[in-house]
């Protein structure tokens, strides 16, 4: 016998409560037959004009609805908190967990049998996945798709990546302010999210690699009509998923996370994927640790020649075959759990077995990869006992084993005030250290880890230096940047004890990051250490600061780990 639909508890009632549930819905012009027990599909939308990357999602929602109706479902679109990366202060990451609570409670409180998540900009993907995973109703993710390639003076330019490049060129006197301004509109010329392999594109690939999106989800440009077809097909499929009772907990298995880690290596994906996947795994109770990123992802070569590590963009990636051709190569090399189930009810291997690469300059082969090492490196040592990460494919090889003198910035304000001072005692061999930018310190763990180099060094032609912090880095950024040092400085992690002039050794081969200062001296400094930033005393930020976990645990709020499913809430009528 088919399982009773959750929505029937609302719309199937013949009493006064049922009257209320249906009657008010009918003010939208919904005919009575929609309440006849068919699956109610929530379309959880992060559309917002303040999230430009997601501003086209209402159109996408209409296409999902078409598919739902075709299959005899009842689609209902609802908004949730939308996190726009470019505008929100102090950082959209501060609100990822808040948005996930909104998603979780919106789903649980309403008469839904399944959800389609419409996502795009960086934090919108993990926040919706986290919230939906805690409810565990059948869930299918549709990404909004990347913008078309940026183009400036005959060259491809990539979201974010070229902002850093152009900014450095202005500082080095190689680009005028007028040219800098002109490039703005050349970069963002269509609907969609950042079209580099930044965090949004990475997370769209993670959705596909985890099995939570349809094949092709990641790369189809937002402006391409085939993105709308994908949304339509998602609408059709989610109705079937209700009948099959195919839930996130069936799909988001340990194998799925391992597939995602390897896919992230093969695409040269964003370091932010680490923190988001750790948080998502925490919601579904899958054992997944920071060390998995090194042990499982270590030997994965980077196949995809996309900015920031390479030269192409997501539109090119789509024409080359998109993520399916990458997953196929991983599978053929024994680096993918082929039998992992995906939202379309097929295995990863079923989905990719017949695809082929069309542009070998964009998607390389396992025999001749774009870069030998695509995976992220997890570093440990007395500077980051709970771990820190580095993306070798975005780093300078000559800096991967280096000892240098620390130049310390106590927080982001200190950095901004001093970095370009002509008398700053720094040269290219130094190691820049930024403190108090972790989850609690900033708060929100902003993307400031790839701090720009001092202007005087840029003018000398220096293009990279080692930078260490407890912050994150934009997925569109590059450089030899050690991130997510845990525990963070604001909770008294060893990073708090570093002083300018100390010697630091980075040894990527050995996976170590060491502060070459004696234990006695560090103990003395620890005695004298005091937290520098006050705690917020009200509202969400207070809750966040009190309960946020460290980066190596996904920076979720401690009381949000796990899920409680989607029980039917008590009646209030």
Binding interface with ligand FES (CB under 6 A): 53, 85-86, 121-122, 159, 193-194, 198, 200
The partner residues of 261 in beta bridges, in order of sequence, read: none
Nearer to ligand FES (CB atom), residue 50 or residue 417: 50
Please count the other Cβ atoms lying within 10 Å of the Cβ belonging to residue 311.
Answer: 14
Contact call for residues 202 and 194 (beta carbons, < 8 A): no
Nearer to ligand FES (CB atom), residue 145 or residue 479: 145
Nearer to ligand FES (CB atom), residue 134 or residue 159: 159
- Shortest Cβ 159–ligand FES spacing (Å): 6
Nearer to ligand FES (CB atom), residue 92 or residue 430: 92
CA distance 240 to 243: 5
CA distance 40 to 23: 16
Residue showing tokens 């370009």 = 420
- Shortest Cβ 493–ligand FES spacing (Å): 29
CA distance 438 to 280: 19
C-alpha distances (whole Å) from 512 to each of 14, 197, 269, 386, 532 are 66, 27, 22, 12, 27
Strands 512-515 and 481-482: unpaired
Nearer to ligand FES (CB atom), residue 159 or residue 469: 159
Residue 491 burial (C-beta neighbours within 10 Å; 0-12, 13-18, 19+): middle
DSSP per-residue codes, 66-92 = HHHHHTT-EEEEEE-----TTT-SS-G
Nearer to ligand FES (CB atom), residue 41 or residue 307: 307
Nearer to ligand FES (CB atom), residue 88 or residue 251: 88
Q: Which two tokens stand for residue 407?
A: 């130049």
CA distance 104 to 99: 9
- Shortest Cβ 204–ligand FES spacing (Å): 10
- Shortest Cβ 394–ligand FES spacing (Å): 16
C-alpha distances (whole Å) from 379 to each of 261, 484, 506, 561 are 17, 10, 9, 25
> DSSP letter at 53?
G
- Shortest Cβ 198–ligand FES spacing (Å): 6
Q: At what angle do helices 272-284 and 124-135 cross, to 10 degrees?
A: 10
| Cis before 103 (ω within 30) | no
The partner residues of 380 in beta bridges, in order of sequence, read: 512
Nearer to ligand FES (CB atom), residue 198 or residue 297: 198
- Shortest Cβ 120–ligand FES spacing (Å): 7
Nearer to ligand FES (CB atom), residue 251 or residue 274: 274
C-alpha triplet 278, 279, 284: angle, nearest 5°: 95
Nearer to ligand FES (CB atom), residue 223 or residue 353: 223
Nearer to ligand FES (CB atom), residue 122 or residue 556: 122
- Shortest Cβ 305–ligand FES spacing (Å): 20
Strands 114-119 and 139-143: parallel
Nearer to ligand FES (CB atom), residue 172 or residue 186: 186
- Shortest Cβ 142–ligand FES spacing (Å): 15
- Shortest Cβ 457–ligand FES spacing (Å): 28
Contact call for residues 296 and 330 (beta carbons, < 8 A): no
Smallest CA-to-CA distance from 207 within 197, 194, 216, 198 is with 216
- Shortest Cβ 192–ligand FES spacing (Å): 8
- Shortest Cβ 150–ligand FES spacing (Å): 12
Segment (H or E) for 402 = strand 401-409
- Shortest Cβ 52–ligand FES spacing (Å): 7
DSSP per-residue codes, 94-138 = GGHHHHHHHHHHHHHHS--SEEEEEE-STTHHHHHHHHHHHHTS-
Nearer to ligand FES (CB atom), residue 194 or residue 458: 194
- Shortest Cβ 123–ligand FES spacing (Å): 9
3-state secondary structure of 139: strand
The partner residues of 79 in beta bridges, in order of sequence, read: 45
């Amino acid at each position: 016998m088919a399982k009773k639909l959750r929505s029937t508890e609302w719309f199937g009632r013949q009493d006064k409560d049922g009257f209320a549930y249906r009657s008010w819905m009918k003010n939208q012009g919904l005919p009575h037959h929609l309440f006849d027990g068919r699956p109610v599909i929530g379309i959880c939308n992060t559309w917002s004009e303040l999230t430009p990357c997601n501003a086209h999602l209402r159109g996408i929602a209409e296409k999902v609805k078409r598919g739902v109706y075709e299959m005899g479902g009842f689609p209902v679109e609802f908004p949730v908190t939308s996190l726009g990366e470019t505008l929100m202060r102090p950082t959209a990451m501060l609100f990822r967990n808040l948005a996930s609570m909104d998603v979780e409670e919106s789903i649980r409180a309403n008469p839904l049998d399944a959800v389609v998540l419409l996502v795009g900009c960086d934090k919108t993907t993990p926040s919706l996945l986290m919230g939906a995973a805690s409810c565990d109703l059948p869930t299918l993710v549709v990404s909004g798709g990347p913008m078309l390639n940026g183009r400036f003076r005959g060259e491809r330019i990539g979201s974010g990546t070229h902002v850093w490049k152009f900014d450095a060129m202005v500082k080095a006197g190689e680009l005028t302010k007028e040219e800098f301004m002109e490039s703005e509109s050349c970069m963002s010329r269509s609907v969609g999210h950042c079209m580099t392999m930044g965090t949004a594109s990475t997370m769209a690939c993670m959705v596909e690699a985890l099995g939570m999106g349809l094949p092709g989800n990641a790369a189809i440009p937002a402006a391409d009509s085939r993105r709308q077809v994908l949304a339509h097909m998602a609408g059709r499929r989610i109705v079937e998923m209700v009948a099959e009772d195919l839930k996130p907990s069936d799909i988001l298995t340990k194998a799925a996370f391992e597939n995602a880690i390897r896919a992230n290596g093969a695409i040269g994906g964003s370091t932010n994927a680490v923190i988001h996947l750790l948080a998502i795994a925490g919601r579904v109770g899958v054992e997944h640790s920071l060390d998995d990123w090194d042990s499982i992802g270590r030997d994965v070569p980077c196949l995809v020649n996309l900015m920031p590590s390479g030269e192409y963009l997501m539109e090119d990636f789509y024409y080359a075959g998109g993520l399916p051709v990458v997953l196929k190569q991983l599978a053929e090399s024994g680096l993918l759990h082929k039998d992992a189930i995906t939202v379309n009810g097929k295995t990863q291997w079923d989905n990719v077995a017949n695809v082929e690469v069309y542009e070998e300059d964009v998607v390389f082969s396992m025999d001749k990869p774009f870069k030998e090492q695509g995976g992220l490196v997890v570093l440990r040592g007395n500077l980051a006992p709970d771990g820190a990460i580095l993306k070798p494919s975005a780093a300078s090889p000559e800096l991967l084993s280096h000892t240098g003198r620390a130049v310390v910035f106590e927080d982001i304000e200190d950095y901004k005030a001093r970095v370009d001072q002509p008398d700053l005692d720094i040269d290219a061999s130094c190691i820049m250290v930024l403190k108090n930018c972790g989850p609690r310190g900033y708060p929100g763990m902003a993307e400031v880890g790839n701090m720009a180099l001092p202007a005087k060094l840029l003018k000398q032609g220096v293009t990279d230096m080692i930078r260490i912090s407890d912050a994150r880095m934009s997925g569109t950024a590059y450089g030899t940047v050690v991130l997510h040092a845990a525990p963070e400085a604001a909770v008294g992690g060893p990073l708090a004890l570093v002083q300018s002039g100390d010697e630091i050794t980075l040894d990527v081969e050995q996976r170590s990051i060491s502060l070459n200062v004696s234990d006695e001296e560090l103990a003395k400094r620890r005695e004298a250490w005091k937290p520098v930033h006050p705690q917020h005393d009200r509202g969400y930020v207070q809750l966040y600061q009190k309960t946020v976990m460290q980066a190596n645990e996904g920076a979720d709020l401690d009381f949000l780990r796990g899920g409680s499913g989607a029980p039917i809430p008590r009646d209030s009528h």
